[in-house]
Structure 1
Amino acid sequence: MSLAILAVAILLLIGVVLRQSIVALRVLFIPGSVVAGFVGLLTVTLLGRWGGEAVAAQTAEVNATLAGWPGPLIAVVFAAMMLQQSGGSPRPHDDSTARRVGRQGLMVWIIVLGETMVGLWATWWLIQPLYDVPNSFGMLIETGFAGGHGTAAAMGQVFSSPQVGLEAGLDLGLLMATCGLVYGVVSGIVWINVAARLGWLHDDSAGASSSGAAQEKKPIGFQTTSSDAIDPLLLQVVWVALAVGVGMLMQTVVLGVAGRIDIALGAGAGSGAVGADAELSKRMAASNVMDFPLFIYTMFGGWLVRRVLRGLGQSHRVDSATIERLSSTAMEVLVVAAITSLKLSAVAALIGPFSILFVCGAIWTAICLMVLSRWVLPGEHWFPLALINYGMSTGTTATGFVLLRVVDPELKTGAASDYALAAPLSAPFIGGGILTIALPLVLLERVSIAWPALVIAAVVLVLVLVGRQLGRVKR
């Protein structure tokens, strides 16, 4: 842990120096934390290959530590975000929240179901005429892009099951997840610059990232209590820690109740199923359906702490400026850890059909970011929110926040809040949820690939039309 902290500190210093020294990095709005992450990725790769056995082992240990940081750091970001007073947030929750959250949830379904759609069509029309692969091969885009490495590992059992027969599915899924992570960050930076040239970045989101703009120096925060009692900065850390702790407690309670429901219904691991059927049974269990990412629970934890303080008449003890700085700090470290810990060592089996799927997935996610998101998402912050979706749909939520950090470094838009509130509408079902696991086992290998490809395409088309109509009703 100590070496990982030291490594991140050094990388951040290097990233800031390079960012200030290289004009191209400033022109492209690339933050120092992103530069630091790629410097770390290059360093880890070089030391792992040519650093000697001892150095390679130590590097791998540090990298493994960093790989575990993004999840908890995202939880801190969302807890801090909800702790801030509504006066410090440009998008307080109001009567339009449900509409915005619904449109965001709809957009996630369009993106992720669309990844399955293009994967199945590419497999049907381009891959199967040349290669002997099962219908479920088309699920690799959703598995790797939207699902990430965790889903790729779980889907390995599904792909290798007798129902599917894709023995290389685990390796291909991990390779797709790895390539998606790298592609998501690099291409996302490109699309951000395209959006800037098109005038899609509003002053409240992009202004802080512009290198040439003179920025007024502001105090980091304000004292909300006497320093004789407790250091004012530490008090703000305490509020964040309380929010995270409450969120973790909520997660434990919810999963405990869900586990009791599974026991009562005889579902989950004790159902007697084996192999891929056991994986499907596990995904359909209440404990898995309610196993939302920690950041969703810490978001509600932050909200609860803020409400309690308000009810006690102590809301002035929370300094939004300081909380915002703590959140930004967590995001900076998150960016470095997420990029540095990318795993680039994956086997290249079936590289031909894999490349076809990758290109199709890249085209679809780009269309969703630059075209469909403008139709469906709330107009006031559609691009920052689309960037989080883009990162999620090409790698992980951490990737989305890497991109959001470029255009909205202080979370001035309501994009992060809308994303978090809408996550429960899709997380249990797609991008590694029940439908992701069930499609190969229950449907894809039992019928012609044409039928699921056509049906899913029709569903995606209907969702796009609904989203387009909602966008026209109120923009």
Structure 2
Amino acid sequence: MLPVEKIASGTITNFILYLAIIGILLFVATVLRLKINFLKKAFIPASLIAGIIGLILGPYVLGLFSAEMRSSLSAMPTPFIVIVFACMQLGVKRSNLKDALILSAPSVIQGYLYSFVQVGVTCLLTALLFTPLWGTNSIFGCIVEVGFEGGHGTAGGMTEVYAELGWAAGGDVGQTTATIGLIIAIVGGIILINMGVKRRYTTVLEDSSALNAGQETFTGGEKKPSTYTTISGNVVETFAFHAALIGIAIFIGKVIIYLFDLVFHYSLPLFPFAMIGGWLLNMVLQRTPLAELMDRGIFVHIQSLTMDFLIVAAVASVSIPVILENWKPLLISCTLVTAIIIWLFWWTSPRLYKKHWFECAITRFGVATGVAAIGLMLLRTCDPEMKTEAGTVYGLGTPFVSPFVGGGLITTAYPYLIVAMGALKCGLLFVGISIALILLCMLVGLWNRKPVMEQRGNL
């Protein structure tokens, strides 16, 4: 066992040490990702590879990392996800609400449909099968939505909620579900794209052999600028200015939670309210000249950096004994939910989207089973030059989905609803809402009764 805790002492110093270890794992994983052809073809992100390496080095396999280190790593996703969510609305330009809703409505509907199905089906399985057979905690009913639609960050942020509600194992189970979802999003997404190409459902991509042709490194004159300097270094470093705005957003979220606890005597997780804090701050700044000093690209990079570190820490710190204890309900629920999501992908997508249905749908599939980055990766895979409107549709729909499901306020409320109502009632409720949502689309004219499946060249 490596005595890494003896290298440094003190909470902050240890935090820096663990960041360094995550950095080492991520560096090694990046080299492996670039050198090993299988990992490239499978589109496995370096952060997931690094997390798996950390898990192998941990106390449950090789034992090179101590149990104390695993415990410390398991605590890191919670503050990381606060930063990720604080960035979500910062720097987002205001758009015409009506136009945004009209264009993004199918993506928004599908986002909620996937979330409600994931919760509804898992709650029914928990109430009718898992709890009677294996004594599974009823809160397990929300674990697939938190892991799939929410991802590692949301799973980490919900750890304290699970513990507060009496299910201490929920954090580890949630991180495992998020890892399963990430793999399903990548592997399943690539399989769906291959099927779409063969059936001429893709608008741009004509040959599946082009799937692995994307450039992965940029050197020399190929290097691309991705952010802008918006304020002179004589005043403040641009990234420091943006980090300050993130800090303000988090502080606003903390104040909201404090006031809520003061009035209702009830504690809430910080991460969704950090997003609300960012939304409030952005709404104010967009009405001032300071809006021009915000570069959305910087917030996206900070968000992505934090997510990579978060995934490494989350996967590396998964408790294998907890997973072995819950492997049966995990296997059954993840398998059945994935099958239903794929069925909904093929059935609802061409009937919801007016144009470029496959590209719009594959983006939402990646987000609903993995994370936003995977959804966009799948989109770029089948639409490398972003010729379709799928990216715009997803982007416009994000403010109407992310604050609520997949880690937002509704996701945060799921375990409380299950505790209050029971898994069976929650399952029936959300399956019923899912069916009602589809029926509503049919009634209000958002349903293509005679969908055009083939999209090739239909720009």
- Relative to the length of structure 2, the TM-score reads 0.68
Give the 3 Å change call, closer, same or farther, for CA 195–150 of structure 1 in structure 2: same
Q: Write out per-residue CA displacement over residues 13-54 of structure 1, whole angstroms, 9 at most, x where no aligned residue.
A: 323322322223333344xxx22432333234324346668x
Give the 3 Å change call, closer, same or farther, for CA 67–350 of structure 1 in structure 2: closer
Q: Which residue does the alignment assign to 2:435?
A: 461
CA distance in 2 between counterparts of 1:120 and 1:258 reads 28
1:7 aligns with 2:21: yes
From 219, 224, 228, the equivalent of 1:218 is 224
Could you tell which deviates more after superposition, 16-25 or 403-412? 403-412
CA distance in 2 between counterparts of 1:144 and 1:75 reads 15
Amino acid at match of 2:39: L
How far has the Cα of 1:452 moved from its partner? 6.8
Q: Write out per-residue CA displacement over residues 104-145 of structure 1, whole angstroms, 9 at most, x where no aligned residue.
A: 5543442233234323554577668x8375894872555764
CA distance in 2 between counterparts of 1:73 and 1:377 reads 33
How far has the Cα of 1:81 moved from its partner? 4.8
Q: Unaligned regions of 5+ residues in structure 2, if any? A: 1-14, 453-459
1:192 aligns with 2:189: yes
CA distance in 1 between counterparts of 2:329 and 2:85 reads 37
Q: Which residue does the alignment assign to 1:388?
A: 367
Q: Which residue does the alignment assign to 2:174?
A: 177
Could you tell which deviates more after superposition, 188-197 or 177-186? 188-197
Aligned identity (percent) is 12
1:304 aligns with 2:278: no
CA distance in 1 between counterparts of 2:176 and 2:104 reads 29
CA distance in 2 between counterparts of 1:326 and 1:203 reads 30
Q: Which residue does the alignment assign to 1:363?
A: 339
How far has the Cα of 1:203 moved from its partner? 7.1
Q: What's the secondary structure of 1:341's corresponding residue?
A: helix
From 35, 51, 54, the equivalent of 1:21 is 35
Amino acid at match of 1:56: S
CA distance in 2 between counterparts of 1:116 and 1:192 reads 21
Q: Write out per-residue CA displacement over residues 259-303 of structure 1, whole angstroms, 9 at most, x where no aligned residue.
A: 45x3xxxxx33xxxxxxxxxxxx4xxxx75998342343244345
Give the 3 Å change call, closer, same or farther, for CA 258–43 of structure 1 in structure 2: closer
Amino acid at match of 2:38: A
- Is the Cα–Cα contact under 8 Å of residues 247 and 301 in structure 1 kept in the other structure? yes
Amino acid at match of 2:397: D
1:40 aligns with 2:13: no
**Superposed, which structure 2 residues align to 1:43-442 within 5 Å?**
43-49=54-60, 55-57=65-67, 59-60=69-70, 63-64=73-74, 66-75=76-85, 77-78=87-88, 81-82=91-92, 93=96, 95-99=98-102, 103-122=106-125, 131=133, 136=138, 139=141, 141=143, 145=147, 148=155, 151=158, 154-155=161-162, 170-171=168-169, 173-174=170-171, 176-197=173-194, 198-199=196-197, 210-212=213-215, 216-220=222-226, 229-230=234-235, 234=237, 236-259=238-261, 262=263, 268-269=264-265, 282=266, 288=268, 292-309=272-289, 315=292, 317=293, 320=295, 324=297, 327-328=300-301, 330-342=303-315, 343-347=318-322, 348-349=324-325, 351-353=327-329, 355-369=331-345, 371-372=347-348, 375-376=351-352, 381-391=360-370, 399-404=371-376, 407=379, 413-414=391-392, 415=394, 418-426=397-405, 430-433=410-413, 436-442=415-421
Q: Write out per-residue CA displacement over residues 324-374 of structure 1, whole angstroms, 9 at most, x where no aligned residue.
A: 256235404422431442214243346545543332233234444554455
Q: Write out per-residue CA displacement over residues 308-327 of structure 1, whole angstroms, 9 at most, x where no aligned residue.
A: 1268xxx3x55x4xx52562
CA distance in 1 between counterparts of 2:448 and 2:230 reads 45
Q: Unaligned regions of 5+ residues in structure 1, if any? A: 87-91, 161-168, 263-267, 270-281, 392-398
CA distance in 1 between counterparts of 2:314 and 2:404 reads 29
Q: What's the secondary structure of 2:224's corresponding residue?
A: coil
CA distance in 2 between counterparts of 1:306 and 1:16 reads 37
CA distance in 1 between counterparts of 2:29 and 2:73 reads 18
CA distance in 2 between counterparts of 1:112 and 1:256 reads 28
Q: How many residues align?
A: 406
How far has the Cα of 1:188 moved from its partner? 0.8
CA distance in 2 between counterparts of 1:44 and 1:254 reads 36
Give the 3 Å change call, closer, same or farther, for CA 403–63 of structure 1 in structure 2: farther
- Is the Cα–Cα contact under 8 Å of residues 75 and 295 in structure 1 kept in the other structure? yes
CA distance in 2 between counterparts of 1:467 and 1:378 reads 13
How far has the Cα of 1:462 moved from its partner? 1.4
Q: What's the secondary structure of 1:470's corresponding residue?
A: coil
How far has the Cα of 1:71 moved from its partner? 1.0
How far has the Cα of 1:190 moved from its partner? 0.9
